[in-house]
């Protein structure tokens, strides 16, 4: 009799939990990409949009909206101040977002101001040029910079101190060049930067690898170096690393999402559960690979700890370049 009652109680509890999850599912899910279309934030939102839809984990269609400004600062402040309780909004972030937080570039809000939801993949920094550029490898580009740092115009989706600038600064420092002497044009997002390079307005793009691989496949660009510890697998195996060319630089780029600080636990946990399930699926792994991202699966408390550790490391790095406000 007790076992029957126990099973009945367990079934009731399971139904209640399932009911809570169902009630927590948002009716109008939205992913905010904190830049203009075409860059890494757009890629991140669309990967989640496809992954959650194709796996049937999200019933309502999730729209992607764009909120450029301050390389993520406008979106971060809007979510904290205006959408703090919104259960249907997730916002894309990257390592660049964390680097900006480490430098105080998001205003009065720091890394504790939001709920860190999920990381769904990792990208790597890349240094790219047009296919007809004169430099065949990173060494040739650095040689040109050593001869005359002002002779090359870099484009990147951030201001000085941002992630893309930091990638070029680290290479410059490794080559004995003062990063402050580089010519640098800032754009609002990687999509704009790539368009500018293809149009001949800048000569070199510093970005995430996933942002430029479509143009690589189209034969429009050449990637001089990927900022990974070793060569990447599969179709990207021909791209040399900066390290093998004599520049000890690695820059992994986390891609993921956060939510407002006052989102209820059951609503936050609903999203976490969907991402946990999505990240465990082989069909999502295929989607991620198609976008030239690599596995990184962190959700909830695990991601929160990762973010706080990363911000502290970026504060130290920014301090080395005199960037901390």
User: Looking at residue 301, what is its pLDDT?
Assistant: 98
Sequence length of the chain is 325
User: Looking at residue 13, what is its pLDDT?
Assistant: 47
Q: CA-based angle 316:318:322, to the nearest 5?
A: 115
Ordered structural domains, the chain, with CATH: 2-21+28-123+253-320 (3.40.190.150), 125-251 (3.40.190.10)
Q: Is 205 helix (H, G, I), strand (E, B) or coil?
A: strand
User: Looking at residue 3, what is its pLDDT?
Assistant: 54
Whole-angstrom CA distances from 270 to 48, 261, 299, 303 are: 15, 15, 12, 16
User: Looking at residue 322, what is its pLDDT?
Assistant: 85
Whole-angstrom CA distances from 74 to 161, 233, 247, 255, 293 are: 17, 36, 35, 18, 26
Q: Is 143 helix (H, G, I), strand (E, B) or coil?
A: helix
User: Looking at residue 325, what is its pLDDT?
Assistant: 55
| pLDDT tens across the length of the chain (325 residues) | 555 555 555 545 444 444 444 567 999 999 999 998 988 999 999 999 999 998 889 999 999 999 998 889 999 999 999 999 999 999 999 999 999 999 999 999 999 999 999 999 999 999 999 999 999 999 999 999 999 998 999 998 777 888 999 999 998 988 899 998 899 998 877 788 899 999 999 999 999 999 899 999 899 999 999 999 999 998 899 999 999 999 999 999 999 999 999 999 999 999 999 999 999 999 999 999 999 999 999 999 999 999 999 999 999 999 988 886 5
79-82 long-range contacts, Cβ below 8 Å, gap at least 24?
79/32, 79/114, 79/258, 79/259, 79/260, 80/109, 80/113, 80/114, 80/260, 80/261
């Amino acid at each position: 009799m007790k076992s029957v009652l126990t099973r009945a109680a367990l079934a009731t509890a399971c139904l209640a939990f399932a009911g809570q999850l169902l009630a927590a599912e948002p009716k109008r899910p939205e992913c905010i990409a904190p830049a203009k279309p075409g860059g890494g934030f757009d890629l991140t939102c669309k990967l989640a949009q496809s992954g959650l839809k194709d796996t049937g984990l999200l019933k309502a269609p999730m729209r992607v909206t764009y909120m450029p400004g301050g390389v993520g600062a406008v979106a971060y402040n809007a979510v904290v101040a205006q959408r703090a309780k919104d259960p249907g909004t997730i916002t894309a972030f990257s390592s660049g977002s964390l680097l900006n937080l480490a430098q105080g570039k998001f205003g009065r809000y720091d890394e504790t101001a939001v709920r860190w939801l999920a990381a769904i993949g990792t990208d790597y920094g890349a240094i790219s040029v047009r296919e007809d550029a004169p430099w065949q490898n990173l060494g040739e580009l650095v040689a040109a910079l050593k001869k005359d740092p002002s002779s090359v115009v870099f484009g990147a989706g951030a201001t000085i101190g941002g992630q893309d600038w930091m990638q070029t600064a680290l290479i410059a420092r490794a080559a004995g060049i003062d990063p402050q002497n580089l010519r640098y044009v800032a754009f609002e997002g990687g999509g704009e930067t790539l368009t500018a390079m293809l149009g001949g307005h800048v000569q070199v793009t510093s970005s995430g690898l996933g942002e430029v691989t479509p143009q690589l496949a189209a034969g429009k660009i050449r990637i001089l170096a990927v900022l990974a510890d070793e060569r990447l697998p599969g179709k990207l195996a021909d791209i040399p690393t900066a390290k093998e060319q004599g520049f000890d630089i690695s820059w992994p780029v986390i891609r993921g999402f956060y939510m407002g600080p006052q989102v209820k636990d059951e609503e936050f946990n609903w999203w976490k559960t969907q991402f946990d399930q999505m990240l465990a699926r082989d069909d999502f792994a295929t989607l991620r690979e198609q976008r030239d991202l690599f596995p990184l699966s962190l959700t909830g408390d695990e991601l929160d700890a990762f973010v706080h550790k990363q911000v502290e490391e970026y504060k130290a790095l920014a301090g080395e370049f005199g960037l901390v406000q």
